[in-house]
Chains A and B, each alone.
Chain A
Amino acid sequence: MPELYSAEVGQQILDNYQEAEIPEVHKELFHWAELFTQRSWDMSAQDLQRLHTYGLTDANIVGWAQAACLQTWFTMGAEGGGVPLDSDAGMQPVFQKPREFYTQAPEGLTAAEPKRPNFHAPDSAEAVAWVATDGDSEEYQQAAAWAEARYGFVPNLLQALSLPPEFFRRHTLALELLERPQTESLSPRQHAMVRALVSTLTRCQYSADTTRRLVASACAEPGLYERLTEDYRQREWAPVDRVILDFATKVARNAYKVTEDDAQRFHEVGLDDEAYVDVLNTVAIQTSFDRLANSLGVRPDPRPLLPRV
């Protein structure tokens, strides 16, 4: 990362970014990222309008949202995998605190308890999101053709990401990976359960219909979606399902609290490391897309986002 701040200002940001000696627009960025990370369901069109007053364009804001989406995946991968810091990759720890500071922190250091969906529809009946779209770029045209062939329509989420367009090749790959488990260790039923649970935790109306239909198509188990989305902790589950759901919840809410005990619990119910990585990535991709949709006010698609074949 280019050097923007002195060490002293960097410490001020870590202590309280609102009081740090940084430009006001940077404080707005930190506030926006805080909402994106911790309460994306509370974001509104007014949040974006306030950013416009600082000279930020819709393209800037969509760029922020896409960068935040990618960083969410990286962060969950790092914390979920428990990988050590790099000694030779030119990366330094930012917070200067041991991992135990996070894993032993009180529950809810960054995440709040979900209560209800909180969707703010775009102002215009025709708008797909709170931001402008641009269908002219070559990258968008390629992504739209890919989506038409795969889903039979162009999802509102892809349309909302057309400013700027360079992230499409990553997003289309991530959407493909999200369609089904990537290992033999995780069943389609378990994969669908994880996606439905995560979209409840993120209170993402954009994904709700898709994950409901995915659960229904993955298994003929009446009431499963409701059991997942109406506080699964109060219901009876097979031990293997409970381990997966508890882990998915921890990653989606507090990835910094994951420890090696979580991987051990997978092993105790007969799941392997491949299943662990499959669940971790399903949570990370679903969460990052849900936050992206919440932050840009993307209107739900007319039908579920599932491949035609």
Chain B
Amino acid sequence: MAHIRIVNEDEAQGQLAEDYAYLSRSYSNMVGSEVTTPNVYRTHSIVPAYFRLGTVTNRVLTNDGRFDRPSWQQGPAPEFLVNFAVALHSSCYY
């Protein structure tokens, strides 16, 4: 249970429904099987403008779902490791 009301994909309409569909496709591509949108995005679902920010963030990080941004995995210490490190130092349960 979340702390607040959530609008899930079965209730979503318009842009919110499109964003849910995009995120599900993006993560399904990443893990290689069909999955639903991760819960981290759902916090924002009752204010679609913020949910939209999550979708655009995913588009940036994945190069619109293609997962081919070169800087993501290259360099002496790859960028994706930063996400893990920030979560670690934020004591993030999720």
Contact = CB atoms under 8 A, between A and B. Distances in A.
B83 to A, nearest CB: 5
Contact of B4 (A59, A91, A273): A273
A53 B69 CA distance: 25
A150 B27 CA distance: 34
Contacts of A254: 91
A201 B87 CA distance: 20
Interface residues on A, range: 35 or more
Nearest to A38: B89
Contact of B90 (A75, A84, A93): A75
A74 B43 CA distance: 10
A109 interface: yes
B35 to A, nearest CB: 5
A270 B50 CA distance: 22
B88 A89 contact: no
Given A2-B73, A83-B43, A167-B60, A174 B83 contact: no
Contact of A79 (B31, B33, B94): B94
Contacts of A135: none
A256 B80 contact: no
Contacts of B25: none
Interface string B61-81: 101000001010101110111
A2 B80 contact: yes
A29 B94 contact: no
Interface in A12-37: 13-14, 17, 23, 25-26, 28-30, 32-34, 36-37
B46 A274 contact: yes
A302 B47 CA distance: 33
Nearest to B82: A67
23 contacts: A23-B77, A28-B77, A30-B89, A37-B89, A56-B77, A71-B82, A71-B86, A74-B54, A74-B83, A77-B43, A77-B44, A79-B93, A81-B42, A88-B36, A89-B36, A102-B91, A169-B56, A173-B53, A177-B53, A274-B47, A276-B4, A277-B43, A285-B53
Interface string A255-290: 110111011000000000110111011000100000
A183 interface: yes
Nearest to A255: B90
Contacts of B40: 74, 77-78, 81, 83
Interface in B13-61: 27, 30-31, 33, 35-44, 46-47, 49-50, 52-54, 56-57, 59-61
A79 B43 CA distance: 9
A68 B80 CA distance: 9
B87 A277 contact: no
